[in-house]
């Protein structure tokens, strides 16, 4: 998390290490949805910017490279496995519902 309130001197105020390699992020409310290559989709609670934490994840079949969210579904571009649709109604226990 980077504080950009002073654009001439941005500062890191918090971070969380994802399991593999974060490739894309979409933020909805106080949750960051991260496409994290071979570890799939990571859900990160960012309600406390100085102390974000992973609250849920779902491994996708290939490698997650992009994510967007609409309602209670996350759409993950997953390498050779195409598009994965993930039910995020329970952030601590997301599940792939279609591909």
Query: CA 70, CA 88: separation in Å to the nearest integer?
Result: 10
CATH number of 2-98: 2.40.128.630
The pTM assigned to this predicted structure is 0.94
Domain ranges of the chain: 2-98
Tell which residue, 76, 78, 74, has the closest CA to residue 62: 78
23-73 pLDDT per residue, tens: 999 999 999 999 999 999 999 999 999 999 999 999 999 999 999 999 999
Query: CA 88, CA 51: separation in Å to the nearest integer?
Result: 22
Per-residue exposure over 5-43, b if at least 16 CB sit within 10 Å of its own CB, e if not: eeeeeeeeeeebebeeebbbbbeeeebbbbbbbebbbbb
């Amino acid at each position: 998390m980077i504080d950009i309130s002073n654009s001439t001197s941005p500062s890191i105020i918090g971070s969380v290490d994802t399991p593999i390699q974060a490739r894309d992020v979409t933020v909805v409310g106080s949750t960051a949805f991260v496409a994290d290559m071979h570890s799939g989709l990571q859900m990160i609670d960012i309600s406390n910017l100085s102390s974000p934490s992973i609250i849920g994840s779902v491994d996708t079949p290939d490698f997650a490279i992009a994510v967007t969210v609409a309602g209670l579904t996350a759409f993950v571009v997953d390498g050779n496995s195409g598009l994965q649709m993930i039910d995020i109604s329970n952030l601590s226990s997301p599940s792939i519902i279609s591909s």
